[in-house]
Chain A
Amino acid sequence: MSVSDLSGLNAERATPGARVREVHDSFHGDLLEVSMGPHHPSTHGVFRMIVTLDGETIVKLKPVFGYLHRNHEKLGETVTYLGSMPYTDRLDYLSSMTNNWAYALAVEKLAGQAVPERAEYVRVILAELTRLLNHTCLAGFLMQDCGCSGTPLMYAFREREYILDLFESLSGSRMMCNYQRFGGCRVDPSADWLAGAQKLTDRYGTFLDEFETLLTGNEIIMARTQGVGKLSPELAISAGVTGPMLRATGVNYDLRKVDAYGVYPRFDFRVPLGDHGDVYDRYMIRVLEMRESIKILQQALAGLPAGPIMDPKAKLRSFRPKAGEAYGRIEGPKGEIGFYLLSDGSPNPYRYRIRPPSFINLTVLEDMCLGHTVADAVIILGSVDIVLGEVDR
């Protein structure tokens, strides 16, 4: 049987799941379309990509969204301003504190609400703890995707529990903290809590050393991740990519420096930048950012002023801002998380729009994956750091 006969046989066998599209030539064979997801252990939730393969090489990748579309923005228009706060926890459910802060910042801008200094410091402490939590978990999940099954993720989740214990003792909930309010924070952290945060900050560097000894210089991981999923700075900027993904390409853009929101200008920290924009750089950027977060935490815990945690004039119930619009954004662990609010003077926002960092970072997925194998696409997706609650909203 000749080769041309075989390709005819393949065309007959075509099924909807794996369709044979076109015949290139007798040597290269046919393109294969494979649907990965929505149930796939590597896709970090219910994300689906339809990849077209030439052999094992990806020639086309089409993402399919919407499997976790929970009507977040529509619900935001039907509840009060304060009522949206618990929903923001469930956007990026690994880092609820930064979501809370971004939303509180947008409402404070809308209402012209001042925030006491102590609350600003507490917000910085919580945001940096969230960054530690998110980046640690991301590194664990990325290594899981690389095939180091179990161990790095176990280490990451062990540290996550220590941070979640702090969150729980402060806000009452492990993951869905619902802690920030317009004009401050909900409860004042006690001296015990601050001592616990200080203890965690002091020993987190030791954990990072241990983690890096395992992973950073590991030859297998370097071979697996270096040069994979390269992203050029030009494409990253034009696609609106933010956060560690953008900085891994070498673009110096960190909202903590650019916007200088909160009390960040008072702290001495550096913004780590990458050279190559590949998966390894994205991993390294996160590790280096964690080191800088520890520096910020040390300074914020040392300089935490006394005073009220809430602005006494702040209104939470029957809160009606004047008609107008506001956009509040902060540097979340995944990138620029922003909330756009349009008020018509009623207790509910007229329009409530979220700028989700992981959704916009995901738009360059195809450009990064072309020419790589399916196994590489899995770790490229892992290095983007998506959370589907935020992608689909």
Chain B
Amino acid sequence: MFKRDPEDCPLSQEVTPPPPSVTETERDELRRQGILLTSLQELYTWGNSHSVWPLNFGLACCAIEMIAASMAKFDIARFGSEVFRPSPRQADLLIVSGTVTKKMAPQVIRLWNQMPEPKYCIAMGACAISGGPFKQGYNVLKGIDRFIPVDIYIPGCPPRPEALLHGLVQLQKKIQGFKLTGPDAPRHLRDDQPCNCPVPEFGEHDLEPPANPAVWTAPPAIVRKD
């Protein structure tokens, strides 16, 4: 039911949702009476957002805080994400927790490609976002968002476990806002968007290609007027 022909329903065409037939107050009243009214979309996003299983994948310092977030004091299990899966085939969420070097970047992207849709990515820490304190280094990737689509960025060096939990809640909110149809549908419900990213190879000087143009374009150069 989610598949559709792109020519039949072009993306530029705006789909206006019909006005809700039951208001929020009426629904709350019904819920108090023991009657649950929901739509398929709400049920789908509700289930998706509260069982995000992260990949058990640590890169550097942030991985320790990621482990700390899953331990007793912070307890990521409260948000339904305590099941850290060792295999990418069983995981929904890739937490890029630490510095991605040029030697490691192809493996990270390969892991991303091995995860089944729907999948999400959190760039945890300054290094995963932009290279962080090691940005000047010759071997450090300047942000994982050059290669894979990132949903949530968590700044910090390293971010506290609370920050990771906050990022997870933000991701849950993002998932709850997904539409099942129309141009706002997420990547995995659309035919025109690829699930996989090309894996770069280490070439003569650098990673080739140095970025994935489908997810990242270089910011415009600042040109002085005078």
Binding site for B on A (CB under 8 A): 38-39, 41, 45-46, 66-72, 74-75, 78, 86-87, 90, 93-94, 153-154, 157-158, 160-161, 174-176, 388-389
**Chain A residues within an 8 Å CB radius of B140:** 70-71
Q: Which residue of A lies closest to B110 (CB)?
A: A39
Q: Which residue of A lies closest to B69 (CB)?
A: A157
Q: Which residue of A lies closest to B131 (CB)?
A: A70
Q: Which of A67, A68, A74 contacts B138 (CB 8 A)?
A: A74
Q: Are A87 and B133 in contact (CB under 8 A)?
A: yes
B28 CB → nearest A CB, Å: 39
Q: Which of B61, B68, B139, B157 contacts A71 (CB 8 A)?
A: B139
**Chain B residues within an 8 Å CB radius of A72:** 134
Q: Which of A67, A86, A174 contacts B133 (CB 8 A)?
A: A86
Q: Given contacts A71-B139, A154-B72, A176-B158, are A41 and B86 in contact (CB under 8 A)?
A: yes
B57 within 8 A of A: yes
Q: Given contacts A39-B111, A154-B72, are A388 and B103 in contact (CB under 8 A)?
A: no
**Chain A residues within an 8 Å CB radius of B160:** 174
* Further 10 A-B residue pairs, CB within 8 A, beyond A69-B139, A90-B133, A158-B72: A45-B60, A67-B107, A68-B99, A68-B101, A70-B60, A70-B139, A71-B140, A154-B72, A160-B68, A161-B71
Distance in angstroms between the alpha carbons of A160 and B64 in the assembled complex: 11
**Chain A residues within an 8 Å CB radius of B60:** 45, 68, 70, 90, 93, 388-389
Q: Are B134 and A71 in contact (CB under 8 A)?
A: yes
Q: List 10 A-B contacts (CB under 8 A).
A: A38-B104, A45-B60, A69-B101, A69-B103, A71-B137, A93-B61, A93-B64, A153-B67, A158-B71, A175-B64
Q: Are B61 and A66 in contact (CB under 8 A)?
A: no
B82 CB → nearest A CB, Å: 10
**Chain B residues within an 8 Å CB radius of A154:** 71-72
B63 within 8 A of A: yes
Q: Given contacts A68-B60, A70-B137, are A153 and B71 in contact (CB under 8 A)?
A: yes
Q: Are A161 and B101 in contact (CB under 8 A)?
A: no
Q: Are B58 and A157 in contact (CB under 8 A)?
A: no
Task: Give the dominant DSSP class at B's interface.
Answer: loop
B56 within 8 A of A: yes
Q: Given contacts A41-B56, A45-B60, are A66 and B68 in contact (CB under 8 A)?
A: no
Distance in angstroms between the alpha carbons of A164 and B112 in the assembled complex: 33
Distance in angstroms between the alpha carbons of A158 and B86 in the assembled complex: 23
Contact pattern, B 68-79, Cβ under 8 Å of A = 1, otherwise 0: 100111000000
**Chain A residues within an 8 Å CB radius of B59:** 45-46, 68
- What is the number of contacts between chain A and chain B, taking CB atoms within 8 Å? 89
Q: Are B61 and A158 in contact (CB under 8 A)?
A: no
Distance in angstroms between the alpha carbons of A393 and B73 in the assembled complex: 30
Q: Are A71 and B72 in contact (CB under 8 A)?
A: no
**Chain B residues within an 8 Å CB radius of A94:** 64
Q: Are A39 and B107 in contact (CB under 8 A)?
A: yes
B33 within 8 A of A: no
Q: Which of B98, B137, B158 contacts A175 (CB 8 A)?
A: B158
Q: Are B107 and A75 in contact (CB under 8 A)?
A: no
**Chain B residues within an 8 Å CB radius of A66:** 101, 103
Q: Which residue of B lies closest to A156 (CB)?
A: B71
A13 CB → nearest B CB, Å: 22
B193 within 8 A of A: no
**Chain A residues within an 8 Å CB radius of B72:** 154, 157-158
Distance in angstroms between the alpha carbons of A45 and B133 in the assembled complex: 19
Q: Which of B65, B104, B158 contacts A68 (CB 8 A)?
A: B104
B16 within 8 A of A: no
Q: Which of B125-140 contact A (CB under 8 A)?
A: 133-134, 136-140
**Chain A residues within an 8 Å CB radius of B134:** 70-72, 75
Q: Which residue of A lies closest to B107 (CB)?
A: A38
Distance in angstroms between the alpha carbons of A153 and B67 in the assembled complex: 10
Q: Which of A41, A67, A160 contacts B104 (CB 8 A)?
A: A67
**Chain A residues within an 8 Å CB radius of B73:** 157-158, 161
Q: Are B65 and A175 in contact (CB under 8 A)?
A: yes
Distance in angstroms between the alpha carbons of A75 and B64 in the assembled complex: 24
Distance in angstroms between the alpha carbons of A389 and B157 in the assembled complex: 14
A43 CB → nearest B CB, Å: 9
A152 CB → nearest B CB, Å: 11
A232 CB → nearest B CB, Å: 32
Distance in angstroms between the alpha carbons of A41 and B58 in the assembled complex: 8
B70 CB → nearest A CB, Å: 9
Q: Are A67 and B101 in contact (CB under 8 A)?
A: yes
Distance in angstroms between the alpha carbons of A154 and B88 in the assembled complex: 24
**Chain B residues within an 8 Å CB radius of A67:** 101, 103-104, 107
7 closest cross-chain pairs (CB), A and B: A71-B137, A157-B71, A93-B61, A41-B86, A70-B134, A67-B104, A161-B73
B111 CB → nearest A CB, Å: 6
Q: Are B68 and A161 in contact (CB under 8 A)?
A: yes
**Chain B residues within an 8 Å CB radius of A71:** 134, 136-140
Q: Given contacts A67-B101, A175-B61, are A157 and B56 in contact (CB under 8 A)?
A: no
Q: Are B136 and A75 in contact (CB under 8 A)?
A: yes
Distance in angstroms between the alpha carbons of A250 and B58 in the assembled complex: 34
Q: Which residue of A lies closest to B105 (CB)?
A: A67
Distance in angstroms between the alpha carbons of A38 and B57 in the assembled complex: 10
Distance in angstroms between the alpha carbons of A279 and B98 in the assembled complex: 29
**Chain B residues within an 8 Å CB radius of A158:** 71-73
Distance in angstroms between the alpha carbons of A16 and B90 in the assembled complex: 24
Q: Are A70 and B99 in contact (CB under 8 A)?
A: yes
A340 CB → nearest B CB, Å: 20
